[in-house]
């Protein structure tokens, strides 16, 4: 797994600034007041810092943005990074400033003068999230970066506050690595193996193989994988850190590669479908975080791992399959495969665990990208209460999410002439008809949300917290949802 940047915490030491060889970061509020660290740097550089702070460039910076003094005289460091940030900045504002710095950790590392900043732990978290490069598939791992030192007035307190953040960052990195991996590496078997390895963290992990799934009647899921050489699997991860209450459940779409099947996708951009296991990746990342921070909650995470390939054995458009629930499905388009996988995993999850709440994540529809772009995931729910809880958690973590409607009126679009339901409803409201389809496999009494993350799981240009590629979107929001609502 891509390792987190090492972060250490130290007392502030003004006299050490001149000889510091790492890049040095200081925070200056919009008013321009210099804290003791900034004052010392200003003195060492014979007033260069004050000039920078009085400049038009500094004035134009938004909170959390920075400018740099290169090769400052009087200092061993090759760069002083001046970040505009109020001393009292907290939460996401501080986190974002940290992410700005994460981009600037050089070979020599980064020394952050946090002094008496209100939320140094968030600054460190933001930086940690941003120091990520996926270079596992390069022949040379040359993206060498040094460590981060946070110099704070009360380093022990900051370090304690940072500990849980680090568990979250590890979950996010785990998700990003899974999503960034190519499909010849991350086969269903390799994916399952990486989840089984999380037993070391105290998670219970078990795998349903094809024979057992066939026994259970999961022909909707099995139909999707039947054209692939890789065996379909469901991996069940359990974290029972709570009491004897029923668990909360996360369910993920894990299509390790989506060619579309016999309804083959066009060649252009098909390579992006290595990320079609993004939902499963987020579920895995959250479970890792919960285990690492020993969450006092009962949570199960289930992922349906399949590969959607065209083949002599592949399912055909027009095939009718029977789901574990018993409902029959006419497969109009083999490229609408995610919902077929989820139908059986959702049903199995409810039958097995009777969860207090269930959230599934899936890179389900291109249509959600048309509607919401890459800024927000689509949220669909049968519960105003659960969707409000989730939206609150997502907002608190700065992860975009927007609720879209569901309703029985849409069901006529997925009525089948020969089966109980069909798997596509044409172009109108494509994300909603997908959600309606899933809703059919959710019991009335299960509070449920479906998160369509096709636009947010992986992006073509860098975000505040991640370089281009996998974002890890959702790990933070779901961890927060559990923390705020389901921990004793
Ligand atoms: N995995 C895709 C959806 C997708 C598209 C994810 C773009 C990420 C980026 C999904 O399996 C799919 O192919 N959906 C079809 C559904 C259609 C056939 C009803 C789509 O969105 O075109
Ligand atoms: Mn598809
Ligand atoms: Zn897909």
DSSP code at position 106:
B
Say if strands 458-459 and 469-470 run parallel, antiparallel, or are unpaired. antiparallel
DSSP code at position 397:
T
Nearest CA, atom 16, ligand 1:
336
Tell how far the Cα of 363 is from the centroid of ligand 3, in angstroms.
Answer: 6
Tell how far the Cα of 364 is from the centroid of ligand 2, in angstroms.
Answer: 7
Active site residue 339: yes
pTM > 0.75: yes or no = yes
Nearest CA, atom 5, ligand 1:
366
| Domain boundaries, given as residue ranges, for the chain | 7-154, 170-485
- Of 269, 329, 365, which is best to mutate to test ligand 1, by the most ligand atoms within 8 angstroms of its C-beta? 365
pLDDT of residue 106: 86
Q: Where are the alpha helices (DSSP H) in 140-185?
A: 155-180
| Closest-lying ligand 1 atom to the alpha carbon of residue 425 | 19
Tell how far the Cα of 290 is from the centroid of ligand 1, in angstroms.
Answer: 30
Which of 103, 265, 296, 403 is catalytic? The answer is 265
pLDDT of residue 141: 85
Nearest CA, atom 13, ligand 1:
335
Which residue is listed with tokens 């057992």? 212
How many other CB atoms are there within 10 angstroms of residue 182's CB atom?
Answer: 12
> How many angstroms separate the CA atoms of 421 and 329, rounded?
5
Count the helices and strands in the chain (H runs, E runs). 15, 19
Angle CA 110–114–117, to nearest 5: 150
Q: Do domains 7-154 and 170-485 have the same CATH topology?
A: no
| Closest-lying ligand 1 atom to the alpha carbon of residue 260 | 13
How far CA 386 is from CA of 72, 154, 191, 283, 442, in Å, comes to 53, 38, 29, 17, 14
Tell how far the Cα of 258 is from the centroid of ligand 3, in angstroms.
Answer: 5
Q: pLDDT tens string for the chain (488 positions)? A: 999 999 999 999 999 999 999 999 999 999 999 999 999 999 999 999 999 999 999 999 999 999 999 999 999 999 999 999 999 999 999 999 999 999 999 899 999 999 999 999 999 999 999 999 999 999 998 778 899 999 999 999 999 999 999 999 999 999 999 999 999 999 999 999 999 999 999 999 999 999 999 999 999 999 999 999 999 999 999 999 999 999 999 999 999 999 999 999 999 999 999 999 999 999 999 999 999 999 999 999 999 999 999 999 999 999 999 999 999 999 999 999 999 999 999 999 999 999 999 999 999 999 999 999 999 999 999 999 999 999 999 999 999 999 999 999 999 999 999 999 999 999 999 999 999 999 999 999 999 999 999 999 999 999 999 999 999 999 999 999 999 999 98
Nearest CA, atom 8, ligand 1:
454
| Closest-lying ligand 1 atom to the alpha carbon of residue 424 | 19
| Closest-lying ligand 1 atom to the alpha carbon of residue 258 | 1
Active site residue 440: no
Which residue is listed with tokens 């029923």? 246
Residues in contact with ligand 1 by the CB-under-6-Å rule are 258, 276, 333, 335-338, 363-367, 424, 430, 454
Tell how far the Cα of 45 is from the centroid of ligand 3, in angstroms.
Answer: 56
Tell how far the Cα of 336 is from the centroid of ligand 2, in angstroms.
Answer: 5
- Of 223, 364, 374, which is best to mutate to test ligand 1, by the most ligand atoms within 8 angstroms of its C-beta? 364
- Of 335, 431, 435, which is best to mutate to test ligand 1, by the most ligand atoms within 8 angstroms of its C-beta? 335
Tell how far the Cα of 456 is from the centroid of ligand 3, in angstroms.
Answer: 14
Which of 84, 233, 339, 422 is catalytic? The answer is 339
Tell how far the Cα of 191 is from the centroid of ligand 1, in angstroms.
Answer: 21
pLDDT of residue 71: 98
Nearest CA, atom 14, ligand 1:
365
Short-list 136, 79, 82, CA closest to 108: 79
| Residues β-bridged to residue 283 | none
| Closest-lying ligand 1 atom to the alpha carbon of residue 338 | 11
Rg of the chain on CA atoms, in Å: 24
| Closest-lying ligand 1 atom to the alpha carbon of residue 365 | 21
CATH 3.30.1240.10 fits 170-485, yes or no: no
Short-list 299, 277, 272, CA closest to 288: 299
Q: Which residues lie near ion ligand 2 (Cβ < 5 Å)?
A: 258, 335, 337
Topology at the third CATH level for domain 7-154 = 3.40.220
Among all bound ligands, the one having the nearest atom to the CA of 253 is 3
Tell how far the Cα of 145 is from the centroid of ligand 1, in angstroms.
Answer: 37
| Closest-lying ligand 1 atom to the alpha carbon of residue 434 | 19
- Of 275, 366, 433, 438, which is best to mutate to test ligand 1, by the most ligand atoms within 8 angstroms of its C-beta? 366
| Cα end-to-end span (Å), the chain | 31
């Amino acid at each position: 797994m891509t390792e987190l940047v090492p972060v250490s915490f130290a007392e502030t030491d003004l006299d050490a600034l001149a000889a510091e060889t790492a890049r040095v970061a200081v925070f200056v509020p919009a008013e321009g007041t210099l804290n003791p660290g900034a004052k010392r740097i200003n003195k060492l550089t014979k007033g260069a810092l004050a000039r920078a702070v009085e400049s038009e460039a500094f004035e134009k910076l938004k909170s959390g943005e920075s400018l740099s003094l290169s090769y400052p005289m009087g200092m061993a460091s090759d760069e002083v990074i001046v970040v505009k940030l109020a001393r009292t900045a907290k939460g996401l504002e501080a986190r974002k400033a940290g992410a700005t710095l994460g981009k600037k950790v050089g070979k020599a590392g980064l020394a952050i003068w946090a002094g008496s900043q209100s939320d140094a732990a968030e600054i460190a978290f933001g930086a940690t999230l941003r120091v990520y490069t996926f270079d596992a598939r390069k022949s040379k791992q040359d993206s060498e970066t040094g460590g981060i030192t946070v110099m704070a007035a009360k380093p022990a307190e900051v370090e304690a506050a940072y500990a849980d953040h680090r568990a979250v960052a590890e979950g996010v990195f785990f998700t990003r690595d899974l999503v960034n991996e190519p499909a010849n590496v991350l086969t269903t078997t390799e994916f399952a193996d990486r989840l089984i390895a999380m037993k070391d963290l105290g998670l219970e992990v078990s795998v349903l193989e094809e024979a057992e799934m066939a026994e259970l009647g999961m022909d909707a899921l099995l139909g999707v994988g039947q054209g692939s050489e890789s065996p379909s699997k469901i991996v069940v991860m359990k974290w029972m850190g709570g009491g004897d209450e029923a668990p909360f459940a996360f369910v993920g779409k894990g299509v390790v590669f989506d060619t579309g099947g016999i309804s083959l996708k066009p060649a252009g951009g098909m390579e992006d479908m290595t990320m079609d296991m993004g939902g499963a990746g987020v579920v895995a990342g959250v479970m890792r975080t919960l285990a690492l921070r020993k969450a006092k909650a009962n949570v199960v995470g289930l992922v349906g791992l399949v590969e959607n390939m065209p083949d002599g054995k592949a399912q055909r458009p027009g095939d009718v399959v029977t789901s574990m629930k018993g409902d029959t499905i006419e497969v109009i388009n083999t490229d609408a495969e995610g919902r077929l996988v989820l139908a059986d995993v959702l049903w199995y999850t409810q039958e097995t665990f009777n969860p207090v709440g269930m959230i599934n994540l899936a890179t389900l529809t291109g249509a959600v990208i048309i509607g919401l772009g890459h800024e927000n995931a689509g949220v669909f729910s049968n519960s105003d209460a659960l969707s409000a809880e989730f939206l609150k958690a997502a907002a608190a973590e700065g992860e975009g999410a927007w609720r879209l409607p569901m309703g029985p009126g849409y069901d006529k679009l997925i009525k089948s002439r020969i089966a109980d339901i069909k798997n596509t409803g044409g172009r109108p409201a494509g994300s909603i008809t997908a959600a309606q389809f899933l809703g059919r496999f959710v019991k009335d009494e299960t509070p449920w949300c479906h998160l369509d993350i096709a636009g947010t799981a992986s992006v073509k240009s860098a975000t505040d917290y991640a370089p281009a590629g996998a974002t890890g979107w959702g790990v933070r929001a779901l961890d927060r949802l559990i923390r705020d609502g389901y921990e004793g």
